[in-house]
């Protein structure tokens, strides 16, 4: 009660300070008067009496201050005073304030932006209920297409019974449909899911319902659930969507619900359907075929089960399967199953790139913080006089420290606010980058956690700045003042910190620059990669004239082939078009079909991986249109028809693999393996009639894969890729070509309308973005470091003005002084360079995975980077050195 009353009075005292203030001064004055009177009564002279009274008081100002502290809320009051004072001080040194705020803003902005991406993509808990219990299973094997080969239904069944740690297994098969409306047809990516899928994944609907066990099996109507993003994008978040019928590849499907926002892996999905839409998926072939791997698995760990337990159980089951079903596993290609947390799987492609960017941003932060510390130290020295006077007037060490803290907090908050604005802008730039690597890119926001990160960062910086500065110690004021403040300033200890910081700045800049250099050269190397096409004036597009339902319908096949013929004729008639080719897939894009191959008379060695090749079809004009060189033999001709002898054209990689020292022409090869049962392709022997050059179908940085081309007319026309070569400006043909295709196939999706230059760019651009980001961080770092060197040297020069004056009056000329200062900077620079190159050596090894066509410790890059840094550093040293050389000894000595 007593304390409450006191607290209330203190709060009122805080607001009603003024009247009490005059009251207080009156009271103290009356005390002095009474004591003076008493002293006089004791016989002192009046002036002596007053002096003694004042001495006894211990200082009226201090007393008043102590009472004020008791009266109101001193902490807030003095804080307000500190803020007012700090603002005034910062206003008085606008250059310092601007440089510090800008430097901090760049560092904080870069870090906030990158952190917001890292948080959304790697750190944030999954939106799934108990998302950390979800695990992703991946079956893979060696070879170009082996990174993820999915599972077959029997395999899923075996894991379900053999691995009890997996409490539930959600299965889905990636699938694609054409969504048809009256005037449009677009491809959509779908997942065919089992009824337990959503329950296992822990996902809930935002509208309607999700699929259930009752939606499984054959005799049920097809239903679909829209993903949240697709619902927003395609239907504008229409709340009346549930119950609508949509046409998917010729079937009518009811929308039963909209799913909560959630990331999908490994594919992005627009809609999810029950299996019945694809008769194949509910057929015995699919359900019983052990090598028919079309299913992705996400499992939920059972209660109490650990990831390690699940791994052990899965490994045991997998080992048993391999020994039990020898035909289904090729030991030569080392088949394996990995069990990883689903969250980790979602972030795995982004991890390296984001790690790189986060490190680069952190480096920029280190450099800018170092710079700001240096600037503050130098300003602190110039302010020493002011601080000493304040201390002498009664401000204690803690009070001074708090003053500095308030000032630095203001600086760093201003930096944080500006940095936040920078982050808002750069996050928008980063989202497209992130969405290439992560399905969670749409979760990137500058939310409370990110802003908290920024806030914490700025507080750490302010603390660092406040405690880096040394304050005059109590009891040393007199020596400070009598020594003449200017002389104490160049204290060696402080300079050692500053010099250390400069060395660190240079070193970190070199590391960043080296990273930037390596990534830039990677990008250049990549864009120089030969695509395998002899021309760039090529437009490609994909259009499928067959729907799933009609794929095996002979009449539809004939109609589709006639449709493609018409397209070829009409496009060829367009002005400027030189050649039009047709194949199952366009060049520079990998075929989704990869099958095992065998060559006649060639047996595999024991333990050798079964070779595989891409399945492609092509018409006679395909190679000429695409500019793929014919190395041997002939192209397809119009006589290679359905029913005539089976012929095949292969690429050079396949020849090198099967017939390294023989003439491949006339040799026979065939598709093989159990998997053929599930495909419409025959395992008949086919005679090689031609060899074509390799093309970079898996991307510019991937090894070309073996390819077998079949004549377009001899296989199902399951998809169609048009290849159009023009004499110039092929991009200008896009509209005319699209119009022709649309008029012939009004309900077919037209996809990937791209020129070869654009396809190439798709492969290069993520690298370009990486390189550009790291390069801009690197340049920023160098710039800040240069300012740092110049600043420290300039400070050193001004602190040594006297000394330089004496040297010059003793006969040193300008040149010698200049060399002296240059030397001083040069030592720091050289030290930083050595440390930086060493650091770059290690850092480069970490980012090796992001490099292409260049060694991580590429000497040209390292030397170039070191030279660049040295050049910039020397320029930065030169300016203060010149100033030192111009010092007039007469003026400095007199001062």
Partner 1 sequence: MAEKLDVKQGTLALMILKTLEVLGPLHGYGVARRIEETSKNRLTLNYGTLYPALLKLEQEGLVTAEWGQSENNRRAKFYALTAAGRKQLAREAREWHQTADLIAAFLAPRRGAP
Q: Which residues bind partner 1 (CB under 8 A)?
A: 2-3, 5-6, 9-10, 13, 23-24, 26-28, 30-31, 33-35, 37-38, 56-60, 62-63, 65-67, 69-71
Q: Give the nearest distance from C-beta 43 to partner 1 in angstroms.
A: 17
CA distance readout (Å), 598 to 551, 661, 667, 671, 680: 27, 17, 11, 6, 18
Cα–Cα distance between 47 and 43 in angstroms, integer?
Answer: 12
Residue 573's SS3 state is coil
- Write out the two tokens for 616: 């492609």
Residue 594, classed as helix, strand or coil, is strand
Shortest Å distance, C-beta 35 to partner 1: 6
Q: Which of 670, 690, 693 is nearest to 595 (CA)?
A: 670
Contact 467/133 with Cβ under 8 angstroms?
Answer: no
* Closer of 59 and 484 to partner 1 (Cβ): 59
In angstroms, the CA 756 to CA 587 distance is: 9
Q: How far is 631 from 650, CA to CA, in rounded Å?
A: 10
60/835 with CB nearer partner 1: 60
Closer residue to partner 1 (CB): 394 or 484: 394
Distances (CA, A) of 143 to 140, 334, 610: 9, 10, 10
Sequence-ordered list of residues with C-beta below 8 angstroms from that of 233, at least 6 positions apart, any chain: none
Q: Which residue, 99, 92, 170, 98, is CA-closest to 134?
A: 170
Distance in angstroms (rounded) separating the CA atoms of residues 456 and 132: 27
Q: Give the alpha-carbon dihedral of 413, 417, 419, 424, to 10 degrees.
A: 150
Would you say 38 or 288 has its CB closer to partner 1? 38
> Shortest gap between Cβ of 72 and partner 1 (angstroms)?
10
Q: Which helix (H) or strand (E) holds 376?
A: helix 342-382
- As a dihedral over the C-alpha atoms of residue 271, residue 273, residue 277, residue 278, rounded to 10 degrees, the angle is 90
Supply the minimum distance, in Å, between the C-beta of residue 804 and partner 1. 48
Residue labelled with tokens 């677009």? 186
* 480, 472 Cβ separation under 8 angstroms: yes
In SS3 terms, 220-260 reads as CCCEEEECHHHHHHHHCCCCCCCCCEEEECCEEEEEEEEEC
Q: Which helix (H) or strand (E) holds 79?
A: helix 74-92
Beta bridge partners of 87: none
Which among 579, 539, 561 is positioned nearest to 753, based on CA atoms? 539
Q: How far is the CB of 27 from partner 1 (least distance, A)?
A: 5
Tell me how far, at minimum, the Cβ of 478 lies from partner 1, in Å: 22
Q: Minimum CB separation from partner 1 for residue 477, in Å?
A: 19
Q: State which residue, 18 or 183, has the beta carbon closest to partner 1.
A: 18
Name 540's bridge partners: 723, 754
**C-beta of 23 vs 608, nearer to partner 1:** 23
Q: How far is the CB of 57 from partner 1 (least distance, A)?
A: 5
Pairing label, strands 538-543, 721-726: antiparallel
Q: How far is CA 867 from CA 830, 861, 870, 871, in A?
A: 11, 10, 5, 6
Three-class DSSP category at 321: helix
Q: Which is nearer to partner 1, 34 or 823 (CB)?
A: 34
- DSSP secondary structure letters along 711-764: EGGGS-----EEEEEESS-GGGGHHHHHHHHHHH-TTS-EEEEEEHHHHHHHHH
- Is the Cβ of residue 70 or residue 308 nearer to partner 1 in the bound state? 70
In the complex with partner 1, the residue whose CB is nearer, 67 or 716, is 67
C-beta of 39 vs 713, nearer to partner 1: 39
Q: How far apart are CA 565 and CA 581, in angstroms?
A: 10
Q: What is the CA radius of gyration of the chain?
A: 38
Give the shortest CB-50-to-partner 1 separation in angstroms: 14
- Select 33 or 662, whichever has its Cβ closest to partner 1: 33
User: Measured between alpha carbons, how far is 514 from 520 in angstroms, rounded to an integer?
Assistant: 10
Q: How far is the CB of 394 from partner 1 (least distance, A)?
A: 10
Nearest to partner 1 of 28, 812 (CB atom) = 28
Pairing of strands 668-671, 296-301: unpaired
- Residue closer to partner 1 by CB (options 327, 474) is 474
C-beta of 472: minimal distance to partner 1 in Å? 22
Q: Say if residues 420 and 96 touch (Cβ distance below 8 Å).
A: no
Provide CB contacts within 8 A for 56, sequence distance 6+. Answer: 35
Task: Output 26 or 703, the one with its CB closest to partner 1.
Answer: 26
Q: Rounded to the nearest whole angstrom, what is the least distance from the CB of residue 8 to partner 1 in the complex?
A: 9
> In sequence order, what DSSP letters do the residues of 874-886 get, joined into one string?
HHHHHHHHHHHHT
Our CB check for partner 1 shows the closer of 396 and 746 to be 396
User: What letter does residue 731 receive in the DSSP assignment?
Assistant: G
Residue 146, strand partner residues: none
The residue among 17 and 889 lying less far from partner 1, judged by its C-beta, is 17
Tokens linked to 603: 């047996």
CB of 374 to partner 1, least distance (A): 39
Residue 69 or 867 with smaller CB distance to partner 1 = 69
Query: Closest separation between CB of residue 78 and partner 1, Å?
Result: 15
Longest dimension (CA), the chain: 138
Shortest distance, position 39 Cβ to partner 1, whole Å: 12
For the CB of residue 15, give the shortest distance to partner 1 in the complex, in Å.
15
Q: How far is CA 253 from the centre of its chain?
A: 38
CB of residue 41 to partner 1, shortest distance in Å? 10
């Amino acid at each position: 009660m007593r304390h409450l009353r006191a607290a209330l009075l203190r709060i009122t005292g805080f607001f009603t300070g003024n009247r009490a203030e005059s009251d207080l001064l009156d009271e103290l004055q009356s005390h002095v008067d009474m004591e003076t009177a008493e002293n006089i009564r004791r016989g002192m002279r009046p002036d002596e009496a007053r002096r003694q009274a004042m001495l006894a008081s211990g200082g009226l100002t201090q007393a008043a201050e102590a009472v004020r502290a008791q009266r109101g809320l001193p902490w807030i009051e003095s804080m307000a005073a500190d803020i007012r004072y700090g603002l005034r001080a910062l206003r008085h040194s606008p250059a310092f304030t601007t440089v510090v705020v800008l430097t901090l803003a760049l560092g904080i902005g870069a870090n906030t932006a990158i952190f917001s991406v890292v948080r959304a993509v790697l750190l944030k808990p999954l939106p799934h209920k108990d998302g950390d219990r979800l695990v992703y299973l991946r079956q893979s094997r060696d070879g170009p297409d082996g990174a993820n080969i999915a599972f077959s239904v029997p395999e899923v069944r075996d894991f379900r019974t053999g691995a009890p740690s997996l409490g539930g297994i959600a299965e889905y098969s990636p699938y694609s449909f054409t969504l048809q409306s009256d005037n449009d047809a677009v491809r959509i990516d779908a997942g065919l899911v089992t009824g337990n899928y959503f329950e296992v994944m822990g996902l809930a609907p935002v509208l309607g319902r999700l699929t259930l066990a009752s939606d499984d099996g054959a005799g049920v109507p097809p239903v679909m659930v829209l993903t949240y993003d697709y619902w927003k994008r395609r239907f504008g978040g229409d709340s009346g969507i549930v119950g609508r019928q949509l046409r998917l590849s010729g079937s009518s499907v009811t929308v039963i619900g909209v799913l909560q926002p959630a990331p999908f892996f490994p594919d992005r999905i627009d809609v999810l359907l029950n299996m019945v839409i694809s008769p194949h998926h509910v057929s015995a072939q699919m359900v019983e075929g052990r090598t028919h791997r079309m299913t992705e698995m996400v499992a939920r760990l059972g209660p109490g089960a650990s990831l390690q337990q699940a791994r052990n159980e899965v490994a045991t089951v997998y080992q048993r399967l391999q020994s039990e079903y020898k035909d289904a596993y090729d030991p030569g290609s080392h088949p394996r199953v990995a069990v990883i947390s689903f969250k980790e799987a979602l972030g795995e492609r982004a991890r390296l790139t984001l790690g790189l960017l986060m490190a680069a941003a952190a480096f920029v932060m280190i450099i800018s913080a170092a710079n700001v510390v240096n600037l503050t130290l130098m300003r602190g020295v110039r302010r020493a006089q002011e601080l000493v006077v304040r201390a002498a007037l009664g401000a204690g060490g803690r009070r001074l420290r708090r003053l500095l803290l308030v000032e630095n907090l203001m600086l760093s908050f201003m930096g944080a606010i500006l940095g936040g604005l920078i982050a808002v802008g750069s996050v928008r730039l980063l989202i497209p980058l992130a969405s290439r690597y992560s399905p969670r890119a749409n979760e990137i926001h500058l939310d409370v956690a990110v802003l908290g990160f920024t806030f914490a960062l700025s507080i750490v910086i302010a603390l660092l700045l406040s405690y880096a500065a040394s304050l005059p110690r109590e009891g040393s004021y007199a020596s400070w003042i009598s020594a003449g403040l200017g002389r104490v300033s160049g204290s060696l200890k402080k300079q050692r910190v500053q010099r250390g910081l400069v060395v660190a700045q240079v070193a970190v800049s070199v590391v960043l620059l080296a990273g930037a250099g390596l990534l830039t050269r990677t990008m250049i190397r990549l864009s120089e990669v030969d695509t395998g096409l002899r021309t760039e004036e090529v437009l490609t597009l994909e259009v499928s004239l067959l729907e799933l339902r009609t794929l095996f319908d002979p009449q539809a096949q004939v109609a589709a082939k006639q449709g493609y013929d018409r397209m070829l004729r009409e496009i060829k008639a367009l002005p400027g078009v030189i050649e039009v080719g047709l194949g199952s897939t366009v060049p520079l894009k990998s075929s989704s079909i990869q099958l095992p191959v065998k060559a006649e008379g060639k047996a595999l060695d024991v333990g050798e991986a079964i070779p595989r090749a891409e399945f492609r079809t092509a018409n006679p004009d395909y190679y000429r249109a695409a500019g793929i060189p014919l190395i041997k033999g002939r192209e397809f001709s119009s006589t290679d028809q359905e029913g005539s002898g089976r012929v095949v054209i292969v690429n050079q990689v396949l020849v090198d693999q099967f017939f390294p020292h023989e003439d491949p022409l006339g040799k026979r090869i065939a598709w093989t393996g159990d998997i053929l049962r599930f495909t419409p392709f025959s395992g008949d022997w086919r005679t090689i009639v031609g060899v074509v050059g390799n093309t970079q179908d898996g991307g510019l940085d991937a090894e070309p894969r073996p390819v077998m081309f079949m004549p377009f007319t001899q296989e199902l026309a399951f998809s169609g890729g048009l290849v159009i070569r023009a004499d110039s400006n092929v991009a200008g043909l896009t509209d005319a070509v699209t119009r022709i295709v649309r008029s012939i196939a009004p309900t077919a999706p037209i996809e990937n309308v791209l020129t070869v230059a654009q396809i190439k760019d798709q492969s290069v651009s993520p690298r370009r973005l990486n390189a550009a980001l790291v390069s801009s961080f690197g340049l920023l770092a160098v710039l800040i470091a240069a300012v740092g060197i110049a600043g420290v040297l300039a400070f050193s020069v001004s602190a040594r003005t006297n000394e330089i004056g004496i040297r010059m009056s003793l006969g040193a000329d300008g040149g010698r002084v200049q060399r002296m200062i240059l030397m001083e900077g040069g030592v720091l620079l050289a030290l930083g360079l050595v440390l930086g190159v060493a650091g770059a050596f290690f850092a480069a090894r970490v980012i090796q995975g992001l490099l292409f066509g260049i060694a991580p410790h590429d000497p040209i890059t390292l030397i170039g980077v070191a030279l660049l840094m040295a050049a910039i550093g020397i320029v930065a040293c030169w300016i203060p050195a010149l100033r030192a050389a111009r010092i007039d000894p007469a003026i400095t000595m007199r001062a």
